[in-house]
Amino acid sequence: MKYHFNPASILLPKEGFKKWSVVACDQYTSEQSYWDSVEKYVGDNPSALHIILPEIYLSEDNTPYINSINSNMEKYLESGVFDTFDDAMIYVERESNGTKRLGVVGVIDLEDYDYSKGTNALIRATEQTVLERIPPRVAIRKDAPLEMPHVMLLIDDKERSVIEPLSDKKPEFKEAYNFDLMEGGGHIEGYFIDKDTQVKVQNALESLLSGNENDMLFAVGDGNHSLATAKECYRQNPTPLNRYALVEIVNIHDASIEFEPIYRVMFNIDADDFMNKFMEAHAVSSDDNTHDFECVTKNGSEHITVKATAELPVGTLQVFIDEYLKENPQVKIDYIHGEDVVYDLCKEENTLGFIFLGMGKSDLFPAVKSDGSLPRKTFSMGHAHDKRYYIEARKIK
- Predicted confidence at residue 146, as pLDDT, reads 98
Residue type, 279: M
- The pLDDT, as a whole number, for residue 360 is 84
Are the C-beta atoms of residues 164 and 251 closer than 8 Å to each other? Answer: yes
C-beta of residue 391 within 8 angstroms of C-beta of residue 188: yes
Q: What are phi and psi of 202, to 5 degrees?
A: -65, -45
10 Å CB burial of residue 131 (0-12, 13-18, 19+) is exposed
pLDDT of residue 286: 85
Amino acid of residue 112: D
Who contacts 171 (Cβ-Cβ below 8 Å, separation ≥6)? none
Instruction: Please report the pLDDT score of residue 366 as a whole number.
Output: 85
Instruction: Specify which residues 266 forms β-bridges with.
Output: 333, 352
pTM for this model (two decimals): 0.83
Task: Give kind and range of the element (H or E) at residue 108.
Answer: strand 99-109
pLDDT tens for the chain, residues 1 to 397: 789 999 999 999 999 999 999 999 999 998 999 999 999 999 999 999 999 999 999 988 999 999 999 999 999 999 999 999 999 999 999 999 889 999 999 999 999 999 998 899 999 999 888 888 899 999 999 999 999 989 999 999 999 999 999 999 999 999 999 999 999 999 999 999 999 999 999 999 999 998 888 899 999 999 999 999 999 999 999 999 999 999 999 999 999 998 888 999 999 999 999 999 999 999 999 889 999 999 999 999 999 999 998 878 998 999 999 999 999 999 999 999 889 999 999 999 999 999 999 888 888 898 888 777 887 788 877 788 889 999 999 999 9
Q: Cα–Cα distance between 60 and 62 in angstroms, integer?
A: 6
Determine the pLDDT at residue 312.
83
**How many other C-beta atoms can be found within 10 angstroms of the C-beta atom of residue 148?**
23
Residues 6+ apart with CB under 8 A from 258: 361, 381, 382
Q: Would you list the domain boundaries of the chain? A: 8-258+382-395, 261-359
Q: Identify the pLDDT of residue 98.
A: 87
- Closest to 230 in 3D by CA, of 248, 216, 242, 213: 242
Q: What is the pLDDT of residue 89?
A: 98
H helices then E strands: how many in the chain? Answer: 11, 20
